[in-house]
A and B are shown apart, each in its own frame.
Chain A
Amino acid sequence: MTRQQILGWTQRNGLFFALAILIAIFSILSSRFLTVPNFTVILLQNAVIGLIVVPGAMLILCGLVDLSVGSVAVLSAVVFGQAMASGLGLPVSLLIGLAVGAAWGAFNGYLIAIQGFSPIIITLGGLAGARGLAEFVTQGYTTYGYGREFAFLGNGKLLGVPVPIILFAIVFLIGLHLWYRAPLGRHMIAVGGAKDTAAEIGIKVKLIPFWLYVASGLAAALGGLIIASQLDGAAVTIGTGMELEVLTAILLGGVSFTGGRGSLFGVLFGLLFVGVLSNGLVQVNVSPYFEQVAIGAALCGAAALDMLYQRLERLNVPVENEPIEAPQAGEAR
């Protein structure tokens, strides 16, 4: 193997090995760690973030960001709760809850992707605005008690697997297909890495991000509904800090914040890394305050490694030395 290949291989698989080492350490320190029930817990705890992370990573790949997911989640949940309380019934209320997320996503997409507003400013506005709206909708009165059918969404199991994990798996598999097997993956890299070129070639540089925002809003709404189902109540605390958890998994997974580079498998490892770290630290009785410090350190480490890889890659570029063009006889001036 050449140095270039080794470099590429460690870059692609580095996080996987970091995760494996982390799992090994916790397995030695705690006998309860490496068990099927505990890993089911880890997956269950991260399923909601996981399904929001998939469109979120695609947006980052396009050079965009959605900071409004947590607030859209709570807004969808409380609107669902109000719809249930006013007797619209479960199917209609669910549709209304999801529609709120899709509509907010379309609003973000229209302003950012079509009109060209700053993604950070618009979705930061959404972060404050959607949660404020959610608090206004509830008027301080939290609805609860939606019945057994709705409880299935957050607490049910199919073939022994919790429903949120199944939903996350479905979203992730669709994401993998779009990222690696469909033209969309390449188009997103083009949009994030060389937007003008992408537009010149005829790639839908506005519509792709627009639909990704809609997907992000929809995923946030689904996440909010799953949490509401688990709590059996549409509490206004749903989704607080969610946008940061989503961003952490994506960036830890090695997607470039400036767009144009990243892998969805990396994002999965980023998500699991955070999940395993928080779970493992609890298992070995480390103070929960330390968890945040550890995640912060991991993020800084990932950023430093990414810089290192990029430098090494540039050093290794197989370009012949280009001679400086000498003025040639007969050249037109």
Chain B
Amino acid sequence: MSAPVLELRSLSKSFGPVHAVKTVSLAAHAGEVIGLIGDNGAGKSTLTRMIAGAIRPDQGDIIVNGRKEHFETAQDARRAGIETVFQTLALVPGLDIVENIFLGRELLLPGATGRATRTMDVAAMRQRVEEGYQRFGLNLPDMRTKVAALSGGQRQVVAIARAVLWGSGVVVLDEPTAALGVKQTELVLSFIERLRSHKVAVIFISHNMQHVMRVADRVCVLRLGRKVHDGPMSKLSGTDLVALMTGAATAAQ
């Protein structure tokens, strides 16, 4: 297999006496969807926040494309090519889809005058989003629609699409289906499935077994901060996963 785009080497993080994440290692390859599951409090969000640059690990290394990274801020992680979509989605309802996708990284007109006057290249931004709509077959309303007018699933898709359109190699999704209904969940899951063919490494965090079994190629199970399983999805049943999550069964790493 090719070199991993993202590699975590024995990451640890404690909050006072609580070992939220203990020596977790993980490698993610392009075109792979990794399901990261675990019960509440297993350490999924803590691991995510370390990858996203929101908190710093106590120990261990984060390696992106073979380079050791020290993220001080969320922007550092983004610059290194890791996009994280948190449950809050980080979308501004008063702005439309294009404006949200480019928020904070607007394209300026080329040349010195564009830079000096801070004039945006609105046409270029629309075109980039239009291309994205086609490339991923995005099932979304017109890109000038305000996010306030989108459903929960559509907002989730916009947030993920933003992460992917930014060309990042790794997209981390923290419980993207947690607050969604059946139809909205379907919208998000089918979008994640399509990402696989676009050479993106997706880390899909969930505690919904069905969702993980549907989209993941590989599954990692966290329990009380430790990784208790890491292997191909195909070999496991839902019952196996629940057993691993709750500690009723232990598998070799």
Contacts and interface: CB of A to CB of B under 8 A. Distances in A.
A186 B183 contact: no
B39 interface: yes
Nearest to B104: A201
A318 B88 CA distance: 22
A261 B94 contact: yes
B208 A186 contact: no
B68 interface: no
B127 interface: no
B242 interface: yes
A320 interface: yes
Contacts, number: 105
Nearest to B151: A319
A304 to B, nearest CB: 21
Interface stretch (A68-76, A104-112, A191-199): A191-199
B251 interface: no
Nearest to B182: A323
B218 interface: no
B93 to A, nearest CB: 6
B181 to A, nearest CB: 4
A264 to B, nearest CB: 15
Contact of B104 (A203, A261, A317, A326): A203
B71 to A, nearest CB: 13
B87 to A, nearest CB: 12
Given A320-B183, A323-B181, A183 B94 contact: no
Contacts of B95: 186, 189-190, 193
B3 interface: no
Nearest to B118: A182
B59 interface: no
B10 interface: no
Contacts of A192: 94
Given A190-B92, A317-B149, A325 B180 contact: yes
Contact of B103 (A177, A178, A186, A318): A186
Interface string B17-40: 000000000000000000001010
A311 interface: no
| Chain A interface, >50% SS class | loop
A202 B242 contact: no
Contacts of B184: 322
Interface in B157-198: 180-185
A183 B120 contact: yes
Contact of B106 (A183, A260, A328, A331): A183
Interface in A168-182: 177-178, 181-182
B99 interface: yes
Contact of B149 (A178, A202, A318, A325): A318
A193 B118 CA distance: 22
Contacts of A197: 88, 90-92
A331 B210 contact: yes
Contacts of B120: 181-183
Given A194-B92, A260-B94, A320 B104 contact: no
B209 A331 contact: yes
Interface in A231-259: none
Nearest to A324: B181
A332 B93 contact: no
Contact of B151 (A193, A313, A320): A320
B210 to A, nearest CB: 6
Given A182-B117, A319-B151, A323-B183, 18 more contacts: A177-B117, A186-B106, A187-B103, A189-B95, A190-B95, A194-B93, A318-B141, A318-B145, A318-B149, A320-B151, A320-B183, A322-B152, A324-B181, A329-B210, A331-B208, A331-B209, A332-B207, A332-B242
28 contacts: A181-B120, A182-B117, A182-B119, A183-B104, A183-B106, A183-B118, A186-B99, A187-B104, A189-B92, A190-B94, A193-B95, A194-B92, A197-B91, A200-B88, A202-B104, A203-B103, A313-B149, A317-B149, A318-B141, A318-B149, A319-B149, A320-B151, A322-B180, A322-B181, A323-B182, A331-B208, A332-B37, A332-B208
Closest 9 A/B residue pairs (Cβ):
A193-B94, A183-B106, A322-B181, A182-B118, A319-B151, A330-B238, A201-B104, A332-B207, A323-B181
